[in-house]
């Protein structure tokens, strides 16, 4: 036993349940000040994308969108300015 854990090693029903639970917590977190809503939603969707094709397609579409490209460019320029 290697001692490392990865969520992809979980059975598919547990992965889906974990992803749905995290997305649900994320939605609650959008309204409750003590939960990080976007973090939970992002992690939950990343887990669900492994087993749910519509989620995978939506995330792929988001990655290819112009908005995501502009955000990546903006973050890269901020990183370059920060590093000097």
Q: What is the pLDDT of residues 39-72, one digit of tens each?
A: 888 889 888 998 889 989 988 887 777 777 777 7
Residue 83 has pLDDT above 80, yes or no: no
- Model's pTM, two decimal places? 0.67
Size of the chain in residues: 84
Q: Residue 17 has what pLDDT? A: 92
Phi, psi dihedral angles at 5 (to 5 degrees)? -120, 135
Question: Distance between CA atoms of 65 and 53, rounded to whole angstroms?
Answer: 18
Q: Which of 10-14, 59-63, 71-75 has the lowest mean pLDDT?
A: 71-75
Question: Distance between CA atoms of 55 and 15, rounded to whole angstroms?
Answer: 14
Question: Distance between CA atoms of 58 and 56, rounded to whole angstroms?
Answer: 5
Phi, psi dihedral angles at 78 (to 5 degrees)? -65, -40
């Amino acid at each position: 036993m290697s001692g490392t854990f990865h969520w992809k090693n979980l059975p598919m029903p547990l992965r889906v349940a974990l992803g749905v639970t995290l997305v649900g917590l994320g939605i609650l977190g959008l309204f409750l000040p003590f939960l990080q809503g976007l973090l939970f939603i992002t992690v939950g969707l990343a887990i669900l994308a492994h087993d749910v094709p519509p989620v995978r397609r939506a995330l792929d579409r988001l990655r290819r969108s112009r908005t995501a490209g502009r955000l990546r460019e903006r973050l890269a320029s901020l990183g370059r300015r920060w590093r000097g």
